[in-house]
Structure 1
Amino acid sequence: MHRTPLTLMLLSALTLGSANALTTVKIASLAPLSGGQSAIGMQARNGIQLAVAEYKPQFRKLGFDLQFVPFDDQADPATGTAAARKIAADRQILAVVGAMNSGVTIPASAALQASRVALVSPASTANNVTDRGLSNMNRIVPRDDAQGPAGAQFLKTNLKARKVYILNDKTAYGEGLAKEVEKTLKASGVSVITNEGTEEKSDFSSIVAKIRLQKPDAIYFGGIYNQVGVFLKQLRESGVTVPVVGGDGLDSQDLLKIAGKGAQNVFFTTGAAPVEALPAAKAFAAAYQKTFRQPAQGFAVFGYDAAKVTLQGILNAARSNGNKLPSRTQVEQAVRKGTFKGLLSGTTSFNSVGDRKAATLYVMKVGDGKIRLSTSVPVKPPKS
């Protein structure tokens, strides 16, 4: 067919019109993409990115161009809250995956509440994340009052500890976990030497000296891998070999790099299952390796799952709205009330305050340059 300039102009206009007919829909993420905690933040972001790529065709069928906007909160509450305000101002962003750190999630979700922007956190465990009763706040990981007691029970039953030295990093996350561990240990007759808060990042010599003097059977550290890794290195170099237990803040391969030979006889609880423990995750692990040239870790799985909840919530809201663009309020309600199947970590639904109704905690063992599954514990949130 001979195409005249006029024909070409008409075809070009039709093509542009078709492209412009797609309505942009965005989801955002809040995670530390730079700084000392970037390893877990990047894992989560990569998992979210894979979920977005998977859901793009479903959104396109409804006339939506799905876009992903990652924000770097640097694990800092002020930075995360500033990012939340930017998210609120962008009306194309309908929901957020994040944040990772409870200390960021709490103020960021409060900043987004008035705009009715739904959040699904893949990592924040502090009780107050959901105890505030915000309609926009949800999470797919167990709370501190599930994870803390599980860690305490492991200390008593599996490690046979009778005297425990507790440390925390003075954040909402670390203090919350340490408090729950202390409470559970004391109630079960285990002696707690102290629950000491520290923001130290490089020189733990004074704390190690006190530990050597007190001679605990085990140590619990409510903190993040970048801080705990340095502590482990110095603790082991001092000759202290007792078990060290922590929460999911230790869930990173970078713990092995930072602690070096000190990464021995270490355990941590996490809601993010190792990929090898999830039969449904084989295809995901292969896609992750192919896309990012590195193996998927636990927070990649939970970033992916939190994103799937978020994206399916938006689709559910759109379909309930006659396949039209839903409002933020409609998305918020669809996320809270939905039942989400096909997740790597199992079917998910939320109670009235945004806690996952049923989940599994995993206890991981660190040693000999590897992180392995030790045991698993089913958990339920407290009644809301």
Structure 2
Amino acid sequence: MKKSALSLSILAALALGTASAQTTVKIATLSPLSGGQSDLGTQIRNGAQLAVNEYKAQFQKLGMNLQLVAYDDQADPATGTAQARKIAADRQILAVVGTLNSGVAIPSSQALASSHVAMVSPANTANQVTDRGLSNMNRIVARDDAQGPAGANFITGNLKAKKVYILNDKTAYGEGLAKEVEKALRAKNIQVVANEGTEEKSDFSGIVSKIKLQRPDAIYFGGIYNQVGVFIKQLRDAGIDTPVVGGDGLDSSELATIAGTGANNIYFTTVAAPIDALPAAKVFAANFKKTFNDEAQGFGAFGYDAAKVVLQGILNAARANGNKVPTREQVEAAIRKGTFTGLLSGRVSFNSVGDRTAATLYVMNVQGGKYRLATRIPVKPARQ
């Protein structure tokens, strides 16, 4: 009995010694985990967590204890920047998956740049995110200058619209997308009757009245599902069934919930593929459901892919560093220069400013509250 207890004590001591020899390595997520956009932000965090769960064993073999720490940016640039400074102060964090919102990514990535904390975004589309040329900012999704024209082409080619009313939510994301759509429509000699910015969240009666008078063939709204869903509900309640088109900010199951019985004749381009459009996502979706008791959405899959890029980048940097914990600068360089495979969305590599060298856009249709894939569009950034 005593011998057994002694043996157990020795084993426990050895286990503690092994645990203490492990160096903690962290990656962070930065996305809205509270507020009106938390549905998508939580998808990103949870997708990243699944990737971390898968990679833990590989890191343990190198003597590293891999952890994910999640930061809530509340979809707010000031909050995101403050959180970015906290991330920079934690030297164990080597890279970040995020953000959801371009307006948050721009100042947050700038705040992390001097500390060389690499970011890989699963969602940001504004051109300015990468056009600034920061060495730490990368994205695995298409840009607004691809998404905007794709939306405009759908409006003219599929909806055959000749007169379009454009709205935006006055954020870097919404304004940037609306600007690209307007530019592409005008190039096709389509009449753009307005490009109106609004921060309204609850009462769109004034805008609905103007739309009723203008009688456009299509409405484009550069914004996020929680705002656009309310607008669509009020638009349909007013008896207006005009097609509403938007960008990837509409890519949430909550859009149909908010729009209610008005969730018809809605189209949106999205950079995050629907799960059923990703052949490799079946196992991922099952694991997501089992782990979080929630259905995986597009941004969950792209949060997973962005995290895999980050984790493979860290492992590549570690191997080049003699299997030791790499520096942030080494991770930053490994991510920008790497080629990453085994992802749900396909092979990833980045150009000189951090744009994915080959991405895909998807056009979704919401009819009767149900989502279906309308078409897919391969795109490449103008700069390679």
1:231 to partner: Cα distance:
0.1
1:56 is paired with a residue whose SS is helix
Cα shift readout 1:60-81 (whole Å, capped 9, x = no counterpart): 1111000000000000001100
Give the paired residue count. Answer: 384
Matched letter for residue 256 of structure 1? A
Secondary structure at the counterpart of residue 323 of structure 1:
coil
Q: Give 2:344's aligned amino acid.
A: L
Question: Which secondary structure does the structure 2 equivalent of 1:377 belong to?
Answer: strand
Structure 2 Cα separation of the partners of residues 15 and 238 of structure 1: 67
* Pairwise CA distance, 1:46: 0.9
Matched, 1:366 2:366: yes
Match of residue 328 from structure 1:
328
Q: State the one-letter code of the partner of 2:147.
A: Q
Match status 1:264 vs 2:264: yes
Give CA-to-partner distance per residue, 1:280-311, whole Å, 9 cap, x none: 00110111111112211111110000000011
Distance (whole Å) between structure 2 residues aligned to residue 241 and residue 106 of structure 1: 36
Task: Tell me how far 1:15 sits from its aligned partner.
Answer: 2.1
Aligned to 1:94: 94
| 1:315 pairs with 2:315 | yes
Task: Describe the shift of the 1:7–1:261 C-alpha distance in structure 2 as closer, same or farther (beyond 3 A).
Answer: closer
SS in 1 for 2:3: coil
Listed one character per residue, the Cα deviations across residues 301-354 of structure 1 (whole Å, up to 9, x for unaligned) are: 100000000111000100111100000000000000000001100000000000
Alpha-carbon deviation of 1:7? 5.9
The equivalent of 1:162 in structure 2 is 162
Structure-2 separation of matches of 1:295 and 1:92: 31
Deviation at 1:238, TM superposition (A): 0.6
Q: Secondary structure at the match of 1:364?
A: strand
Counterpart residue number, 2:194: 194
Q: TM-score, normalised by structure 2?
A: 0.98
SS in 2 for 1:68: strand
What is the Cα-based RMSD across aligned positions, in Å? Answer: 1.2
- Write the distance in 2 (CA, Å) between the matches of 1:81 and 1:256: 31
Give the equivalent residue in structure 1 for 2:62.
62
Q: How many angstroms does 1:44 deviate by?
A: 1.0
Q: Which amino acid aligns with 1:250?
A: L
Distance across 2 between alignment mates of 1:314 and 1:376: 32
Distance 1:236 1:327, change over 3 A: same
Question: For residues 7 and 169 of structure 1, do their structure 2 counterparts lie closer, same or farther at Cα, with a shift above 3 Å needed?
Answer: same
Matching residue's letter, 1:138: N
* 1:376 equivalent in structure 2: 376
**Does structure 1 residue 301 correspond to structure 2 residue 301?**
yes
Matching residue of 2:279: 279
Distance 2:181 2:243 in 1: 15
Q: 2:151 corresponds to which letter in structure 1?
A: G
| Structure 1 unaligned blocks of 5 or more | none
Bigger mean CA offset, 128-137 vs 10-19: 10-19
Return 5+ residue gaps in structure 2 as ranges: none
AA aligned to 1:307 is A
Partner of 1:117: 117
Q: Percent identity?
A: 73
